[in-house]
Chain A
Amino acid sequence: MSRTTRTIAAAAATTALLLATACNSASTSGTSKAENSVRGVTDDSIKVGGIVSMTTASGYSKKDTDLGAKARFDRANAEGGVNGRDIDYLGAEDDGQDPAKNLSAARKLVQQDKVFAIAPMSSTTFSGADFLQKQKVPTFGWGTLPSFCGPSYIYGFGGCMVPMPGGTISQTWPEGLKKVMGGAAGKSVAIIANDSDAGTFGIRTYKQSFASAGFKVTYAKPSVPAASAPSDWSAYTKEILRSDGGKAPDAIVSVMQTPYNIGLFTAIKRTGYAGLLTDPTDYDPGLLAKSATKKALDGVHVLLSFQPFEQDSAAMTQFKEDIRKAAGKDVPLNMHMMTGYMSADLFLAIAKKAGKDLTVASFQKAADGFADTGTMVGDRAEPKGQKESFGCGALVQLKDGKYVVSAPFECYQPIPFK
């Protein structure tokens, strides 16, 4: 028998053997007992884990999300836990913005650490979503990814923030700008985004959003290379600055990340542009520490989907105190702390409603119809939050080296997304 033939024969034999094994066991292991499981729940504790992208090749990190969650869980435990159970927070797994690691982090937390829930989950990728949904693991995080919209076990702390066809678009940005600019009538805006599918989608969304709020959208293009921030912005600013019939528009809306915004705004300001600049990402007090960013972002209005740190309330005071306690010292606040904090907060609120008899089923039952008001992310309601965002937001302006509230935190009526 030639070697080839033998190889094939052996492979076939192995195949048969293995298939037989597979058949035997697959039939016995298909059922899941997760529905009534008390995985991660004991008489006096609830095990919770997190997934956060901390180290990445792009230099972008959400690691303070972990601190925010810890701060919230610490306070819950200090207040006696949830229905008598302490939260056993394992800390967050680092997924490094890598889809494969995101999934294995989810698997590790569920299969190895046996957590009851995951809070927070904050990353640019969420490939563990299907697994968590299937394993019936309540998961709480930043709803900027489509996986937060729809699956019944996955909750965004501010709702689902990705407008879905047939869903709604939050009007916080144009409505906030209206307050800043004194109405939308006759005001022109230019919207710019990255040259990618996500950018195209952002343009589509905000074009509709601003137009329906009464603004004149004179430019809406995903034109900026998405791979890395350009060094030369003149090619992109030229067209924007002439878009309003040869004049510059009244406002320029950037739907891009911080490095892009810094380049874009610096370039635009150098041309002597006097209009309004706004973006949704640059609320990071860390940016104030550097003169270049401070200068580039000076005067820029930043959209937030939660209550600004500068706007006082009892909850905000509590938040700051919790963070200080968890960090052990005064640390500059950032939105990732808020993300982690509010993800934990939503989990705690629903868990509390679920009562003493905590199972996945009772938790899901409590979530269905859950509602509260006046939180730092506005009025929360489930399962509405799994279809659309809570629709609340604020604008802050960077002025003389610090953020000031330019449009206070408020909830607005969303519009249907076409």
Chain B
Amino acid sequence: MSDLLGFVLSGLVSGALYALLATGLVLSYSASGLFNFAHGATAYLCALAFYELHSGFGWPAVPTAVLLVCVVAPVLGWGLDRLMFRKLARVGETAQIVATIGLLVALPALGLWIVELLEDAGASVKPAENQFGLPGVGPSPAKSWQLTDGVGIDSDQLITWVTTAVVAVGLWILMRHTPLGLKLRAAVDNRSLVELRGMSADRLSSIAWMLSSGLAGLAGVLATPLLGLSAHDFTLFLFVSATAAVLGRFVSIPLAFAGGLGLGVLQNLVAGYASFAERITGFRTAVPFLILFAGLLLMTRRSRTAGTAAVDAPPVDYLAGRSWLRRWGPWTAAAVLLAVAFYTVTTPFWSGILAQGLALSLVFVSFTVVTGLGAMVSLAQATFVTGAALVAGLLMSHGWPFIAAAAVGTCAAAVLGALVALPALRLGGRSLALATLALAFLADQVLFQIGWLRNGDTGWSIPRPAFGPVDLNDDRALGVALIVLVAAAVAALSALRGSPSGRAMLAVRSAPAAAMASGVSVVRTKLVLFTLSAGLAGFGGVMYASYNTRVTATDFTAMTGLIWLAVVVAAGLRRPQFAVVAGLVYALVPHLVSDYVTESVHLPVILFGLAGLALANDPDGYCAAVSVRAHRKRLARGTPKGTESGTAGDGLAASEPGTAGGVPTVTESGTGDGSTVAEPGTAGDPSAAAAAAYGSGADGDARPTAPASPGERPALQLRGIRAGYDGAPVLHGVDLVVRPGEILALLGPNGAGKSTTCRVAAGLVAPLGGRVYVAGRDATREGAVRRSRAGVVLAPEGRGIFPALTIEENLALYLREKDQREAVYERFPGLAGRRGVAAGSLSGGEQQMLALAPLLQRPPKVLIADEPSLGLAPRVVDDVFRLLTELRDTGTALLLVEEKATEVLGVADTVAYLAQGRVTWCGPRAAVEADRLTEAYLGLAAGSSGEPAAPETAVNSAMSAPSATSTASAASATSTTSATSAKDRRDSAEKAMATPGNQPGAADEEPPSSPDGETAAPHPRPTPSDTKGVVRP
């Protein structure tokens, strides 16, 4: 019994450290969606700093620790967030997973380099190597107390426990009982909504990273006596604590914390009682990774079943359709040159290094299969390499010929790959990455410890083969042979990519569910990819081992695999030839650097870590970036007049907002010929501003439709807004004016750009051209946060609430004062009774009420409501509209996007039609005509809206139809039906856009949904005089 108590107590020590690290992991993951592999490195850096400051400079322990944990580590976290994590939050998952791996090695190297520099400068630093039994915060050596027989604790353990408990309580208070904690949790819940509520998600992300780094620093300082100054141990410790983060599903801090403590205890219990496994060498070593693997399998059960990595849009292939020569010519030439170089210019040393790089390239190419084609991040490639090489070596020691042994080794690796793939069928993204990492460690610690397989530290000799006259014992011959093999692998993979199977693989990559629906077996595809990749890695491993002429079980460890992946991803995963570049770079650069740049071994490692920074900017790697950037440059040269955004932007910049008197000065058609820039002087010309029906009457004052007094300043004004997503333009010059106390209803067919208009108005999407004015002030360059603070609130499509927060917390985010919240409860008693309930459990209507209700207490200047009635019951819709009317009466300017035209016409003061990214008509509600409404919905007007009717005519004719309103209502009834039937389709398109981080890929869906393909063309229509199809009443 006392054994058990002892195991539990001492298990809680490592448990506490796991808990601290896991909490930090969860925090940083929540902040930017990154699994921070470098978290342990941060801890190491703090441990190193603590040691140098305390033992080297003689600073007192506790203040030094406080300084490090509360200042230095958070500053490091802040800096990294600013430099890379923030940008990484917006790129694909593979780049995310990999980017921090660079830091994993770079941060410790940075620390050691600084120590080296300080030492050279004569500072009293101590060497960081061979340091054991380092002092921690407490007394050194630690004081120990014997509680009962066999159960003792020491001061270091006590300090760890107490500190961890204090931190746990502190975190709990911070997260649960402070406004900051509330915001942090809100940011975890719905990052983009947080921005719309005027809180900077970036700032919150910085804070989360600072907290996370601080926790890592704390763990580092506390673990100094335990782990010493081994960056490797810190990283291993981190991987184990990832188990706890998995238990908390990377979201729940309390669960992760408890998981960490439990993990420490469990690990100790297994170590204490697992005598059954004594016969399995390495079992006890592997316990943490067994737990990690089991945790991943159990805990991720309810997540996506067929999920691979998040959809990341493939980069544009600029060479698509080019000739073979253009595409492969340079590569072929490089290969031939390299082969010739082996026998002409390279010295034996460089021949060897090149051969090594080529052998490694074979291994690296395998990454382009599993991760490039399959989007599955495998951290176990080194395992396949070791496995294949060991098997081949074992067979060759029994007299097998090289080729046969290599074939069997390759097959063995493929089998291993299939085994590793089994969990991949269930896991995706970072869970899969962690699972493969756990398996890689398991293989290192158990499988490759099997005596007959590894042959001790001697390993197996793998003599290079000789085929007739070709003796690969010559490095040059080996190099040329490897070029041939690598070329064959690249060609085969490129062929595979273009084959039906390859397309099936790509389909599984980008949309598993859709692929399944198309009859592609996701399971089979994944298995094939993993097996193929493992086999390729294995073959590369045999070749690499034959370059070394020997393989030992420790040549390629799981950590090596991590680094490899980072190297390949940095170069680019999309094409196998990029991996070859990566292999050569990896082999050559360290020697080049040491020959020509610096003798310090730390600097190259630090540079290598910067690959992570580069990934933040070019998530597809530097090889891909070369062609992308070259292409952009070409593009820029090719159109010297500038792209459309260039000219239009300039033209707009030239027009002064004040002088124009609220008149949109430049429209799409105005700059349509692409050569003339609209002059401010021409702005008042009604024909130039033709597309801007609204407010462009002669001089801007003639707004017969506006309910507000003409002199009143618009609350929100969009002028000539052009916007789109990644080369897919959506808006082509939208002009809108919303005045205080006015509801402007924006109607239009699917894909017209209504949601995009909302997002531009709210600052979520930066316009390519045009201006946004808030209360007369140019707010174009302001993001969502500042826009929101200026009083522009967007109620996004769907529900603008934080589902994981309670009703009370949701309200508190907008209403700081308690009595304001009470007023809401008074107005909506339905909410009052459930204020402690998570908002996500409310019904749709209640959620919408919850989103809008607080606005009544503190009315914003402008409310942009993107389909507030979407998916609500008719009675609830009435409530919502009543609420909106109330808001208007308080003076809020409302921009209302709606599908339910009947209802919206009941509340709107002004109506604008949007078609194909242009406002085709705008006028008072009374002037709305049935036909026009139908057109607006069915998009009939759209195809011919290049140059809509002159505004006066349109407005006048509308005015002259006395029965307009009633007709419109009748028509809207029918058009609503048709619009709703199309709802599902457009839902998918616009929803996807509303999801942050998804824009680039999803944006493609918008243009096709507009009936006229021409809107997708990057340039505006060339002839502004095209008025043929204007629909007149």
Contact = CB atoms under 8 A, between A and B. Distances in A.
B870 interface: no
Interface string A30-64: 10000000000000000000000011111111010
Contacts of B303: none
Given A125-B554, A130-B548, A146 B150 contact: no
A26 B465 CA distance: 12
Interface residues of A, number: 93
Interface in B479-513: 480-481, 483-484, 487-488, 490-491, 494-495, 498-499
Given A57-B230, A287-B133, A18 B480 contact: yes
Given A59-B231, A259-B228, A231 B133 contact: no
A49 B152 CA distance: 51
Given A8-B491, A226-B285, A229-B233, A292 B141 contact: yes
Contacts of B665: none
- Tell me the interface secondary structure of chain B in the complex: helix
A295 B484 contact: no
B11 A195 contact: no
A375 interface: no
23 contacts: A8-B495, A10-B491, A11-B487, A14-B332, A23-B469, A26-B469, A26-B470, A57-B235, A59-B228, A99-B552, A103-B548, A127-B550, A130-B549, A197-B450, A231-B14, A232-B14, A232-B271, A258-B132, A262-B133, A271-B150, A284-B130, A291-B135, A292-B133
Contacts of A80: none
B348 A25 contact: no
Measured as residues with beta carbon below 8 angstroms from the partner, the interface class of chain B is 35 or more
Contact of A3 (B483, B498, B548): B498
B140 A291 contact: yes
Contact of A290 (B135, B339, B602): B135
Interface of B: 3, 6-7, 10-11, 13-14, 17, 105, 108, 112, 127-135, 140-142, 144, 146, 150, 152, 154, 225-233, 235-237, 264, 268, 271-272, 275, 278, 281-285, 287-288, 324, 328, 332, 335-336, 339-340, 343, 347-349, 352-353, 356, 441, 445, 449-451, 454, 456-458, 461, 469-474, 476-477, 480-481, 483-484, 487-488, 490-491, 494-495, 498-499, 548-550, 552-556, 559, 590-591, 601-602
B11 A232 contact: yes
Contacts of A234: 3, 6-7, 10, 150, 268, 272
A142 to B, nearest CB: 13
A15 B339 CA distance: 10
Contacts of A103: 356, 548
Contacts of B233: 58-59, 228-229
A235 to B, nearest CB: 4
Given A3-B498, A11-B491, A238-B6, 10 more contacts: A7-B495, A8-B495, A11-B490, A22-B477, A55-B112, A111-B349, A200-B451, A201-B456, A228-B232, A290-B134
A104 B591 contact: yes
A104 B336 contact: no
- Tell me the interface secondary structure of chain A in the complex: helix
Given A15-B484, A228-B237, A259 B132 contact: yes
B784 to A, nearest CB: 43
A228 B228 CA distance: 11
A59 B548 contact: no
Given A14-B332, A59-B230, A292-B225, A287 B132 contact: yes
B132 A19 contact: no
Nearest to B444: A227
Contacts of A8: 491, 495
A63 B481 CA distance: 38
A41 to B, nearest CB: 19
A201 B135 CA distance: 34
Contacts of B601: 54-55, 94, 96
A100 B352 CA distance: 12
Contacts of A294: 133, 141
A107 interface: yes
Nearest to A269: B144
A270 B144 contact: yes
A203 to B, nearest CB: 10
A259 B913 CA distance: 74
Given A26-B469, A125-B554, A271-B150, A225 B271 contact: yes
A4 B6 contact: no
A162 B552 CA distance: 16
Nearest to A106: B352
A287 to B, nearest CB: 7
A373 interface: no
Sorted nearest first, the 6 A-B pairs with minimum C-beta distance are: A61-B129, A293-B133, A292-B133, A235-B272, A232-B10, A111-B349
Contacts of A313: none
Given A18-B483, A235-B268, A296-B141, A26 B591 contact: no
Contacts of A311: none
Interface in A106-163: 107-108, 111-112, 125, 127, 129-131, 134, 145-147, 162
A247 interface: no
A227 to B, nearest CB: 5
B324 A3 contact: yes
